[in-house]
Structure 1
Amino acid sequence: MFRCLTTTVTVPDIADLRPLWQSENMTLTAAARHFGLSPTAISTLERGLRRDDDLASAYRECLNAA
């Protein structure tokens, strides 16, 4: 328990996600459809209201491949 409280955890930056899909002319709805999620789920991830590191990584890889 002490280790969990005292260990620094690096949180991946998500600030690049929204500009990436906007620069690719992709819609939020299309991105959400690709992952089988609602646009709200993607939006809350991008705004930092929901944390899902695996989804953020997969989303970034998808956008970089586009």
Structure 2
Amino acid sequence: MAKRTSEGKSKREIMRCLKRYAAREIYRQVTNPRPAPDNSDLRQTRTALGMTITTLAGELGQWVSIISRLERGHIRNDNLAATYRQWLTNHLKGEAPTAPEP
């Protein structure tokens, strides 16, 4: 907003710019979607370790529902999936798993 205001645009013109930006992003996603990664291995690995979803959610600092939806493929969060996978890998190796950086 500050950039567009400094260019001399009115609030109405700024809103138009934002809407166009959003429309371009949505159009790109609709016409060329990125396939969601397969995260089915996360739940299998977690249960093989005997880890409850509540414990894992606490370790990662996430809500249980977010972890569950990620495992089932209902949401896409590549950063969380990578953190989750790394945490499981460290746990499998016997290393002391660390909480992710916020």
Taking structure 1 as the reference length, what is the TM-score of the superposition? Answer: 0.81
Code of the residue aligned with 2:43 in structure 1: it is: R
Matched, 1:40 2:65: yes
Taking structure 2 as the reference length, what is the TM-score of the superposition? Answer: 0.55
Aligned twin of 1:12 = 37
Aligned residues: 65
Give identity over the alignment, percent: 38
Bigger-Rg structure (1/2) = 2
Unaligned runs of 5+ in 2: 1-23, 92-102
Greater relative contact order, per chain length (Cα 8 Å cut-off, separation 6+): 1
Looking at secondary structure, tell me which structure has more helix per residue: 2
Structure 1 segments of 4+ aligned residues over 6 angstroms from their partners: none
Task: Report the CA distance between 1:51 and its aligned residue.
Answer: 0.9
Q: Distance in 1 between matches of 2:69 and 2:33?
A: 24
**Alignment root-mean-square deviation, CA:** 1.7
Trace 1:14-33 onto structure 2 (pairs within 5 A).
14-33=39-58
- Tell whether the 8 Å contact from 2:39 to 2:81 is kept in structure 1 after alignment: yes
Query: After superposition, what is the alpha-carbon deviation per residue over 1:14-63, rounded to whole angstroms, capped at 9, x for unaligned?
Result: 01000010111111011100121111110011111111011001101101
Unaligned runs of 5+ in 1: none
